[in-house]
Structure 1
Amino acid sequence: MRSVDATLAADQILDALDPEQRAVATALHGPVCVLAGAGTGKTRAITHRIAYGVRTGAMVPQQVLAVTFTTRAAGEMRGRLRTLGAEGVQARTFHSAALRQLQYFWGRAVGGEPPRIVERKVQYVAEAASRCGIRLSRPELRDLTAEIEWSKVTQTAPEDYPAVVAKLRREAPRDPAETAAVYSEYEQLKLNRWVIDFEDVLLRTVGILETVPEVAQQVRSQYRHLVVDEYQDVSPLQQRLLELWLGDRQNLCVVGDASQTIYSFTGATPRFLLDFRARHPDAEVVKLVRDYRSTPQVVHLANGLLAQASGEAAAHRLELIAQTEAGPEPVFTEYADEPAEAEAVAHRIRDLVNSGTKASEIAVLFRTNAQSEVYEQALADLGLAVQMRGAERFFERAEVREARVLLGGQARSGDWTGLAATSADPLETQVRAVLAKRGLTAEPPSGSGSVRERWESLSAVARLAAEFASANPGAGLGEFTAELDARANLQHAPTVEGVTLASLHAAKGLEWDAVFLVGLSEGMMPITYAKTDEALEEERRLLYVGVTRARRHLHLSWWTTRTPGGRGSRVPCRFLDGLRPGSTARPGGGAKGRSGAGAAGGGRKRGPVRCRVCGSALSDARERKLRRCSDCPSTMDEGLFERLREWRGDLARARSVPAYVVFTDATLMAIAESRPTEIRQLAEIPGVGPAKLDQYAEDVLTLCTGGSESPESPESQECDAGDTTDTSDALDSEGARTDT
């Protein structure tokens, strides 16, 4: 029986929830599917569900396993459960939970010492490629590594890879047969050296659970209740592991939002969320649509973005209902170039800080990590500190580890000789006095960089001391160091003061009072290489995630050219059509490509690419680029091809980049066969995206039309480094695959 106190505590847990959240919390026996929109309190709902289950006796803490996708999210969940009195619940990432099981059961299931985990798999992929006689540039190596990761999480074996790629019509980064060969050699290399990679942790755990029934039974006996957060992001491999954990039981609660699926390049799919009711006909489904995060103005824009979407995920979109008071309208701004945008954004941020908004409550979000530098510099020029999302974990920073050691030693010794504080002073004063030994001053150092980052970390520890003292009157340095230890174990980090700079992928799950979405120009958002309907819709969802990070202030901006003095041919992101002032919605919600130099894909039509000679459908990447079968007659202008090659070589040497970064041979052949005379025709050639049109269109068209005036010399051209690597050609070396 429950005690009176336990009953009251359980009722108090429910008092903090709205009707839909309460429905989640009281659905203690599965299967349960929670469809939770952005800002609707999904983490609150599921942590209160676990806490309510523990308080009522329906769940034993040690028998609950809650899994999510990032260490930060797992740490936050553990922190909330601890606050709610549900300590002992295992809240982990999929990989962390699997690794614990793998290490624990290896001796019994396999025998001997378990393999060690490789720290940098890219080195093994590079060696495997070399053994296959394949030389790779750093971007190519990164893309190939990501492709191997995708293959493993989708449970695709090396020998099956070419067929799977063809069946899915997946745009592979290089020839599928080469990828399969390197993939196979990579797996053999790991086996020979008795190491495993990140994906192997899941694969090996799945293998043990599938082949050793007594181990599977023990795991299922240990974990009677399973909770999965961000369920729209599970891969087929993670789903298989989840099914093995669950067995034939029904106590499963999943939470997700198909409109926030943004990691398909890692193998994530919303399919398991959308099909949950089909697999579990008796499932209780609860929808959370009350948005407690954003103003009605922000919510209206977010709903408008999804209203124009297409595809199955869009059909299951959740219409958010704002619950906060009204705020300012989102601001849309066009700039001449990226530096102008960065400078203006920095000044707006300074105004917000001067008017009372904390720097830690402001974020600048961009599509690729390569965009961060110009904004970091602009903020530093105004004396504003920054923090990069996705950097080293807070409690793993050297200065934070030192601070914990110093504070622990001071608490044990009690000797305040030589310090600017005593044991009678407030806790924050004591902490600041101790950390002054490691560089914590009353005022922050000027500029940015490692010195400022160190100061921000130490300052965050001091602020945490003030918060701890406020919540625990009379607590001393000993109690505070114990709190730091507990937080470190939970990865429950304090907030660091400073404007956050992050990619849209890294911003998932976070929120700020003010959000600046920058670089929303066609070719950057949606990204150049997003050419299929599915890829474009994922780009829309990525922008939706960015919009829904904002609580009150939302600024959206774009530039017409990335480099000062360049041709202003870029246009605003198509997803904003009909939403920004002065624009109109396009048929199909703007998902179709635009024509003109600023359009991603140059407005080319999607669908089967057919040979322009015989009309056959083309599947080979090279044939699609040439737009003809390899055995159909070529109409290439040999003289033009050689002029293009010579121009490309001069430009590549001047910029110290490989020639294929400018254009691949296949693209030059396609240009020499098509002989375009205007930008629209050039934009229709695969491999010629907006970035390359901005930089090379004038030169290429001059060569194609046989103009007497030679293209401008490479030495006199400005090199837009971001657009050079952010291409739609065979080398897609932009860093989206590594954003997460």
Structure 2
Amino acid sequence: MMQDFKPRPKQAEILAYERGYMGIAAVPGSGKTWTLSRLAVEIIRSNLLADGQEVLIVTLVNSAVDNFSARIGEFIQGEQLMPKIGYRVRTLHGLAHDIVRRRPDLLNLDENFQIVDEPDSVGIVEDAARSWLRQHPNALDHYLIEDVYENEQKKENLYRSKIHEHVREVSWNFIQLAKDNGLSFGRLSQRLEEVRDSLPLAAMCIDIYGVYQRALEYRGAVDFSDLIRMADQALSLDESYLAYYRDLWPYILEDEAQDSSVMQERILEKLAGVGGNWVRVGDPNQAIFETFTTADPELLRNFIADKAGFQRELPNSGRSTEGIIRLANELIRWVMEEHPVEDARIALSPPPIEPTPPGDPQPNPPDDETYIYFDDQERSLGEELEFVANDAGAWIEAHPESTLAVLVPAAWIGQNLVEQLEARDLPYTDTLLKITYSTRKTVGAMTHVLNHLANPKDARRLANAYKAWRRDKQDDADTWPVIERIAKEIAKLPSVEDFVWPGPAMDALDGLLATLEDDDLSDELEEFRRIVRRWQGAVLLPVDQLILTIGQDLFRQASELALVHKVALDLRRSRIQNEEWSLNDTANELKMIATRKRRGNYTGFGEDDREFEPQKYAGKICVATMHKAKGLEWDRVHLVGVSNYDFPSGQPYDYYRSRRWFWRDELDLQAEAEAQLDNLLGRTDFDWKEEGEGTKDAEMEYVKERLRLFYVGITRAKKELVVTWNTGNRGDNRPAAAFTALRTYLESDQNDAAL
């Protein structure tokens, strides 16, 4: 053991492990990374491994791989053991890649097979979905609301503007779920032929699945879901290959097991084998990715209850004051005992959080530093964000050495808040948002130029391109009003061509200068005209070269230019997949990126987005989604938008993000497609799901996930917590049921204390 640290009693129980299946339920801030890392070192130093064997640690994301590797490396050095020997840390994707890359012949793969990343995969599915809709133009009419169904023009516009994107989303999720269950296109097609009942959504998704797989095969590539599925398949096809890995990794330690999927559990169980050594640690109360992935927290709960020979807990946490801990535990109790919908009462479960024992090296912050405020003031979203910006700004000014986060339920709300912070000139960081404010502004500037090039006769678009070119002066209080005035006059030009390409008899620049009454602007506008000509001349180049040309004229910072290169590559791939695209289509694709409606990794340009350390941003307001905040902690936390829209409770008056206004009966077509997939696999009539049941099931799962998300948000706070809500776009949102329950608890607790 490390001489300068004595483990807590519950940690010591885990570190005494030698072999078998062990399941660990860990609370937020309980030190599970330290414990699992230390356990790996204990296994190595205790001579439980033969020469050449390793402890395999499987975790969720790349930043966690780095964290585990660094922590184990420190322990190894402290024990004076050989560095980087005896252990391997992998994400599931990294593990699957190791297995498949070593023996691609088992799977009839070329040894130089390629892996298609998620943005490219989504693009292929989108093309397949668009093609399917062209071939089946009325296939989804049955699901439309009557108002749209009876109006051909409205229906046509909707198919073009909304439905094709939704079909892509539904198909993409269907394909990922099918692959996670090991279901190939061929098997699903065969099963569809055997089922006599009509399953139109499943049929649509299977058709698109087939096109998608053929596109991957044409490229000699696999996607990440294929990689995992094929790793499982490889371990089943060759017993000697499985035996090789069982011998190489006699101990498997799994982190964040609450986010495990069916396929991840299947692979690790195969590697461990009957009577093997497998440790799974996680917190089912922090399972918040079901909506976006194929994760299922019940897998860990069932493992602990039914398979683990040893059940352990990590209940002690030194992260928060005891007041914050009591609040989090009250949420668990209320959900389990009093939630208005009985089916939701399994969303949270024991163990409750316990403070650290006396003498612990990580003591809880003093309880007299606790501040908890549930604001019940009725406000619009804009008013809520104004309140939060003012409150957070005042607090961070008074506590420049402390950390503060504003956690939002959706990235676009975070972007709106950032604009409020910008307007107040408050210090902030938004690197944890899906796309940062600076990235959005950079992509937006390129969008304005492309919009001009797509419509070169539109004077207003030329004016926007001019402002994009002068964007570096946006914070100059003296210069920017002049730029705004110039842009306003450019927008009034009767002929853009007479300005950009003047003839001998007519130069619109002369009239522009006369209107502006400032001949000193002549050189600047001449330079702008020269650059616009270069942009127009570059229109005939491949799209990536066009973007690079524009970027060189607009940007100077290294992070901006790196982003330009990524966008250029992404647009080149999109144009290859969409040969019929016009320049206007390309501009719209760029706009989708700028407005966060297109998947892709556009985070962290200019920042290290692999690991975020809140303390590095002391004195700044950190804006993040609640999902991105998992695993992090701040002195003060604001939770925004805790209403019945973002945190529904299964009541008739609740709204759900998954509902699209144009589908009848408030159906969630993604959930209905997944229910039809279940019907394909069902063995008896008892398993059959009627229309609407999939929607109801999905909405209840969402209710449970959002309760866990609220729990995650609360447990990010070390000392102070402020929770607010808003009335939403319709003006009829109300505080979430959990918000009201905890506010009532706080009022009761304060009254008891007064007595």
The answer to which structure has the higher helix fraction is: 2
3-state SS of 1:309 partner: helix
Alignment partner, residue 31 of structure 1: 21
What CA distance in whole angstroms lies between the structure 2 residues aligned with 1:536 and 1:277? 24
Alignment partner, residue 377 of structure 1: 419
Correspondence 1:365 to 2:410: no
Deviation at 1:568, TM superposition (A): 4.2
Question: Structure 1 counterpart of 2:622, which letter?
Answer: T
Deviation at 1:548, TM superposition (A): 1.0
Of 237, 240, 252 in structure 2, the residue corresponding to residue 214 of structure 1 is 240
Correspondence 1:72 to 2:66: no
What CA distance in whole angstroms lies between the structure 2 residues aligned with 1:269 and 1:582? 31
Alpha-carbon spacing, 1:160–1:519, altered in 2? closer, same or farther (3 Å): farther
Alignment partner, residue 22 of structure 1: 12
3-state SS of 1:275 partner: helix
Of 141, 145, 149 in structure 1, the residue corresponding to residue 168 of structure 2 is 141
What CA distance in whole angstroms lies between the structure 2 residues aligned with 1:517 and 1:142? 28
Correspondence 1:319 to 2:380: no
What CA distance in whole angstroms lies between the structure 1 residues aligned with 2:191 and 2:736? 33
What CA distance in whole angstroms lies between the structure 2 residues aligned with 1:29 and 1:138? 50
Of 280, 287, 303 in structure 1, the residue corresponding to residue 307 of structure 2 is 280
Alignment partner, residue 637 of structure 2: 515
Alpha-carbon spacing, 1:114–1:317, altered in 2? closer, same or farther (3 Å): farther
Alpha-carbon spacing, 1:206–1:59, altered in 2? closer, same or farther (3 Å): same
Deviation at 1:94, TM superposition (A): 0.6
Of 721, 725, 739 in structure 2, the residue corresponding to residue 576 of structure 1 is 739
3-state SS of 2:97 partner: helix
Alignment partner, residue 150 of structure 1: 177
**Mapping 1:196-215, distance limit 5 Å:** 196-215=222-241
Aligned residues of 1:270 and 1:313 also touching (Cα < 8 A): no
| CA RMSD, Structure 1 to Structure 2 (Å) | 3.6
Structure 2 residue ranges without an equivalent (≥5): 78-82, 137-158, 193-198, 337-342, 357-363, 437-474, 478-553, 563-606, 649-654, 659-695, 749-755
> May I ask how many residue pairs the two structures share in their alignment?
479
Alignment partner, residue 98 of structure 2: 100
Deviation at 1:145, TM superposition (A): 1.5
Correspondence 1:224 to 2:250: yes
Deviation at 1:348, TM superposition (A): 2.2
Aligned residues of 2:129 and 2:171 also touching (Cα < 8 A): no
Aligned residues of 1:230 and 1:256 also touching (Cα < 8 A): yes
TM-score, normalized by length of structure 2?
A: 0.58
What CA distance in whole angstroms lies between the structure 1 residues aligned with 2:737 and 2:190? 34
Correspondence 1:57 to 2:47: yes
Question: Structure 1 counterpart of 2:739, which letter?
Answer: L
Of 555, 569, 575 in structure 1, the residue corresponding to residue 722 of structure 2 is 555
Deviation at 1:278, TM superposition (A): 5.4
Alignment partner, residue 372 of structure 2: 330
Question: Structure 2 counterpart of 1:204, which letter?
Answer: M
Deviation at 1:451, TM superposition (A): 9.2
Question: Structure 2 counterpart of 1:535, which letter?
Answer: Y
Question: Structure 1 counterpart of 2:229, which letter?
Answer: L
Question: Structure 2 counterpart of 1:91, which letter?
Answer: V
3-state SS of 1:364 partner: strand
Alpha-carbon spacing, 1:188–1:224, altered in 2? closer, same or farther (3 Å): same
Alignment partner, residue 351 of structure 1: 394
Aligned residues of 1:79 and 1:490 also touching (Cα < 8 A): no
Aligned residues of 1:335 and 1:559 also touching (Cα < 8 A): yes
Question: Structure 1 counterpart of 2:406, which letter?
Answer: V
Alignment partner, residue 196 of structure 2: none
Aligned residues of 1:335 and 1:557 also touching (Cα < 8 A): no
Alpha-carbon spacing, 1:160–1:500, altered in 2? closer, same or farther (3 Å): farther
Alpha-carbon spacing, 1:578–1:451, altered in 2? closer, same or farther (3 Å): farther
Aligned residues of 1:154 and 1:235 also touching (Cα < 8 A): no
Aligned residues of 2:125 and 2:168 also touching (Cα < 8 A): yes
Deviation at 1:121, TM superposition (A): 0.5
Alignment partner, residue 751 of structure 2: none
What CA distance in whole angstroms lies between the structure 1 residues aligned with 2:71 and 2:476? 36
Aligned residues of 2:348 and 2:708 also touching (Cα < 8 A): no
Alignment partner, residue 399 of structure 1: none
Question: Structure 2 counterpart of 1:239, which letter?
Answer: E
Alpha-carbon spacing, 1:194–1:306, altered in 2? closer, same or farther (3 Å): same
What CA distance in whole angstroms lies between the structure 2 residues aligned with 1:257 and 1:161? 34
Moved more, 514-523 or 315-324: 315-324
Deviation at 1:353, TM superposition (A): 2.2
Question: Structure 1 counterpart of 2:91, which letter?
Answer: T
3-state SS of 2:312 partner: strand
Of 708, 725, 734 in structure 2, the residue corresponding to residue 541 of structure 1 is 708
Question: Cα deviation per residue 1:470-501 (whole Å; 9 max; x = unaligned)?
Answer: xxxxxxxxxxxxxxxxxx99956666534332
3-state SS of 2:719 partner: strand
Structure 1 residue ranges without an equivalent (≥5): 1-9, 166-171, 394-444, 458-487, 586-740
What CA distance in whole angstroms lies between the structure 2 residues aligned with 1:224 and 1:109? 25
Aligned residues of 1:118 and 1:195 also touching (Cα < 8 A): yes
Alignment partner, residue 427 of structure 1: none
Aligned residues of 2:626 and 2:712 also touching (Cα < 8 A): yes
Question: Structure 1 counterpart of 2:27, which letter?
Answer: G
Aligned residues of 1:50 and 1:59 also touching (Cα < 8 A): no
Alignment partner, residue 644 of structure 1: none
Aligned residues of 1:578 and 1:584 also touching (Cα < 8 A): no
Question: Structure 2 counterpart of 1:289, which letter?
Answer: P
Aligned residues of 1:155 and 1:236 also touching (Cα < 8 A): no
Alignment partner, residue 115 of structure 1: 113
Alpha-carbon spacing, 1:349–1:583, altered in 2? closer, same or farther (3 Å): closer
Deviation at 1:446, TM superposition (A): 9.9
Correspondence 1:42 to 2:69: no
Deviation at 1:116, TM superposition (A): 0.8
Deviation at 1:76, TM superposition (A): 1.2
Identity of aligned residues (%): 24
Alpha-carbon spacing, 1:452–1:294, altered in 2? closer, same or farther (3 Å): farther
Deviation at 1:80, TM superposition (A): 1.1
Deviation at 1:365, TM superposition (A): 1.3
Question: Cα deviation per residue 1:320-346 (whole Å; 9 max; x = unaligned)?
Answer: 123422132311123522222222212
Aligned residues of 1:107 and 1:114 also touching (Cα < 8 A): no
Alpha-carbon spacing, 1:302–1:391, altered in 2? closer, same or farther (3 Å): same
What CA distance in whole angstroms lies between the structure 2 residues aligned with 1:164 and 1:557? 49
Deviation at 1:545, TM superposition (A): 1.1
Deviation at 1:18, TM superposition (A): 0.5
Of 283, 298, 301 in structure 2, the residue corresponding to residue 257 of structure 1 is 283
What CA distance in whole angstroms lies between the structure 2 residues aligned with 1:176 and 1:278? 34
Question: Cα deviation per residue 1:392-422 (whole Å; 9 max; x = unaligned)?
Answer: 99xxxxxxxxxxxxxxxxxxxxxxxxxxxxx
What CA distance in whole angstroms lies between the structure 1 residues aligned with 2:637 and 2:280? 29
Question: Cα deviation per residue 1:690-710 (whole Å; 9 max; x = unaligned)?
Answer: xxxxxxxxxxxxxxxxxxxxx
What CA distance in whole angstroms lies between the structure 2 residues aligned with 1:362 and 1:143? 37
Deviation at 1:380, TM superposition (A): 2.0
Alpha-carbon spacing, 1:85–1:161, altered in 2? closer, same or farther (3 Å): same
3-state SS of 2:627 partner: coil
Alpha-carbon spacing, 1:163–1:175, altered in 2? closer, same or farther (3 Å): farther
What CA distance in whole angstroms lies between the structure 2 residues aligned with 1:375 and 1:453? 26
Correspondence 1:176 to 2:339: no
What CA distance in whole angstroms lies between the structure 2 residues aligned with 1:187 and 1:279? 37
3-state SS of 2:24 partner: strand
Aligned residues of 1:76 and 1:491 also touching (Cα < 8 A): no
Alignment partner, residue 295 of structure 2: 268
